[in-house]
Structures are given as C-alpha cells and as structure tokens.
C-alpha cells in the first residue's frame, strides 16, 4: 500500500456526485491497462471519499445510488478504470519518462532496419524520437504509443517489425488459465482459437519476433511447463 504522501487522487463524477480515492499513480495506470492487481496494493486508504483532501468520506447512501453496492473493491476498481487520475508535476514527469523508456525498449527489441535486416541501435531510436517529438501521454498504453511512434519515425528512419507465428496446445487442466493469459497479452494477435473435445485448448498466434521468449515464458508459466509450442514457418 502506497503512503498517503505519495498518493494522488483518482476522481469520478457520476449521478450528480463526486467520488475520490487516494491511489498509487503507477499501479493505477497498470490496472487501467489490464493488469490484475490487488486493490489494497493500489490504494493508500481503503476509503471512498467525497473530498479526499479534507478526508470527507462518501456516505453509504451515495455509494448505493451511484454504484448499487458499498463493496470497496468493486467501487474502487470502477473509479480507477472510469475516472480521472490527477498527477503532480513530478509524478507526471516520472510516468512520461517510464513510458518513453518502454517505447524505446519495445522498438529496439522488435524492429529492424529493412535495408540491413539488423536492429536499430537504441541511441539511434532515441535520437529519432527526439527529432519527431512524440507526446508520451502517461495514461496511454505502450501499444498505442508504439504505434504513434512508429508512424512518426517511418519518414526519417527505415523500420520494419519482424513477426513470429506460433502454434500452442494446452492440456485440459491448464487450458482456461492459458486462454486468459494469452488472450490478455497486449502483444499477441490470435489467429486461431479452438477448444478440443478432451478439454484442451489450441491456438495459433502472431507475435513480434522479439517477444518470442516472453511468449514462451508466459505459456509455460500458465501450463506449469506442460505447454506444447511450435514455431511455424
């Protein structure tokens, strides 16, 4: 749980009422982009406020009116996913730099120069991104930022993403877990998805070539090492 001093306000206005939480900005951002986190790790206090700066808590009747429940976890997730997160200048700067670093890392790992077939050096990518002046919105996903960055880079930097197609099969005991993990991975494109009569699950996916090891780790973790994986030509 983040300290109150480092927390920021997540705010949602609905049904003519205002609701606020005190949250960890980085973990709240991860939750907004699909990570399954324990709400107790994300918030600084297990309270819904009508005014967090004054410490005024929302009455139960307001929670029921707006959310039809008083369950804190359910309400907190709704506020984080649907509301606005208010950052300090330093927190915004930190999140922007983190997103910038992740965009550069992703491009360096997954893109090549089509003229040589070799990856671009990190420094070259950094200099090109500085030249095109990307706006790193701290609340946009890395996937969206990469798409914007590559579109802006192409006029000044020859760039192409290599891909891999991988077939995978998971036994019945791990099929549901594997489906959730793989279908929820932002870098995975599902080309084929079939449930078998014996309860197993098979799929064919397309991923960036640089994410192959990460995908294999994801699949084997979901199946406790019992995944059948094959790279397709």
Residue 187 lies in a domain: yes
Residue 199 lies in a domain: yes
Indicate if the pLDDT at residue 168 is higher than 90. yes
Backbone angles phi, psi at 36, to 5 degrees: -90, 100
pLDDT of residue 46: 94
Are 27 and 70 found together in one domain? yes
Which CATH number belongs to the domain containing residue 221 in this structure?
3.30.70.240
**CA angle 184-166-227, nearest 5°?**
75
pLDDT tens for 38-78 read: 999 999 999 999 999 899 999 999 999 999 999 999 999 99
Please give the residue range of the domain that contains residue 131.
Answer: 89-161
With 0-12 CB in 10 A as exposed, 13-18 as middle and 19+ as buried, what is 106? Answer: buried
pLDDT of residue 138: 84
Are 154 and 193 found together in one domain? no
Instruction: State the pTM of this model.
Output: 0.58
The neighbour count for residue 96, using CB atoms within 10 Å, is: 15
Are 80 and 105 found together in one domain? no
Are 80 and 94 found together in one domain? no
């Amino acid at each position: 749980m983040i300290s109150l001093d480092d927390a920021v306000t997540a705010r949602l206005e609905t049904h003519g009422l205002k609701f606020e939480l005190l949250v960890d900005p980085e973990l709240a951002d991860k939750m907004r982009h699909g990570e399954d986190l324990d709400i107790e790790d994300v918030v600084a206090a297990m309270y819904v406020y009508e005014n967090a700066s004054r410490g005024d808590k929302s009455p139960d009747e307001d929670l029921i009116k707006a959310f039809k429940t008083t369950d804190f976890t359910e309400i907190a997730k709704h506020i984080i996913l649907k509301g606005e997160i208010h950052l300090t200048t330093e927190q915004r700067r930190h999140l922007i730099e983190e997103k910038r670093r992740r965009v550069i890392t992703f491009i360096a790992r997954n893109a090549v120069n089509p003229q040589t077939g070799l990856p671009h050096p990190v420094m070259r990518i950094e200099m090109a991104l500085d030249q095109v002046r990307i706006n790193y919105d701290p609340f946009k996903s890395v996937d969206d930022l990469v798409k914007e960055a590559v579109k802006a880079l192409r006029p000044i930097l020859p760039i192409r993403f290599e891909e891999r197609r991988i077939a995978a099969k998971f036994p019945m005991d791990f099929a549901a877990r594997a489906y959730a993990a793989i279908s929820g991975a932002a870098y995975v494109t599902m080309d084929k998805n079939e449930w078998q009569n014996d309860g197993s699950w098979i799929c064919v996916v397309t991923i960036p070539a640089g994410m192959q090891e990460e995908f294999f780790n994801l699949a084997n973790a979901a199946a406790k090492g019992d995944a059948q994986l094959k790279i397709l030509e």
